[in-house]
Amino acid sequence: MAERPYIVGNWKMNGTRAMLSEARAIDRAAQRHMKVEVAIAPPYTLIHAVHREVEQIGVGAQDCHPGTDGASTGDISASMLADAGAKFVIVGHSERRQGHGESNALVRDKAQAVLDAGMRVIMCCGEDAKTRDAGKAASFVTHQLKDSLPGIENAADRLTVAYEPIWAIGTGNTASSQDIAEMHREIRKLLIELYGEEQGGGVRILYGGSVNPENAREIFATEEVGGALVGGASLTADSFMGIALAAGDMLDN
Ligand code: PGA
């Protein structure tokens, strides 16, 4: 477990202002568990409102446009998100890569835009079931990451990687501890190769894909797991903070 585990909720396309009470409840609970870093990425429409309501947790976005401004109807730039109160942006989520045809090059440009706007990046990666079954998961993820990661000269402390096997997202199937450990070791190797021992060694690697309060302990006990990126189970304070508590317990033991 990382020195300070990072537990991030990805609300995806869920949440109206009625969810602000949930964000407040998450924030209150997080104030009692400062050893764990807690953050949520609500939909764009709630970023500013959540930012105003919370004191402790980080607030971020789920995507952004790579440009700074201009004629791009419906898009939102990184600096606009920072202006709304976002402190980080998730980029390269498989639902963006697959559902919106985002290439590694586009994801890299987005990540660079996030860093340029002074925020932190959560870079997602992960293979589909076919790739895993073909025994190519590690090489796929390594290539995907290599082509998606931006230059992070002096910004390694603003980078987090999230390994999310696509077949585990929203399915109730989590990867085994062995699969997670193997993949996180590969990712660590790549980060050190790209950014050096000190910078690359310090980047937290989160696991994502059907994490819930019941399976969190086993996942957090796995080598090189620095926290979790949580979808469905982040939508209520009870389940989300159950996961954060599990991370805190691992530090105590
Ligand atoms: P899940 O989603 O926890 O609902 O599987 C994880 C994610 O997509 O980030």
Q: List, for residues 119-165, the tens digit of each pLDDT value.
A: 999 999 999 999 999 999 999 999 999 999 998 777 888 999 999 99
Instruction: Sort residue 145 into left (φ over 0), alpha (ψ -120 to 50) or beta.
Output: alpha
Concatenating the DSSP letter of every residue in 103-125 gives -HHHHHHHHHHHHHTT-EEEEEE
Q: Output the pLDDT for position 226.
A: 96
Q: Which pLDDT band holds residue 55 (cuts at 50, 70, 90)?
A: very high
Q: Output the pLDDT for position 2.
A: 65
Q: Output the pLDDT for position 253.
A: 65
The DSSP letter of residue 234 is G
Distance set, CA 4 to CA 36, 93, 216, 222, 248 (Å): 6, 23, 16, 15, 9
Q: How far is the CA of 231 from the centre of ligand 1 (A)?
A: 4
Q: How far is the CA of 70 from the centre of ligand 1 (A)?
A: 32
* Substitution candidate for ligand 1 out of 164, 174, 215 with most atoms within 8 A of CB: 164
CB atoms within 10 A of CB 101: 8
List domains and CATH numbers for the chain.
122-156+166-222 (3.20.20.70)
Average the pLDDT over 205-227 and give the result.
96
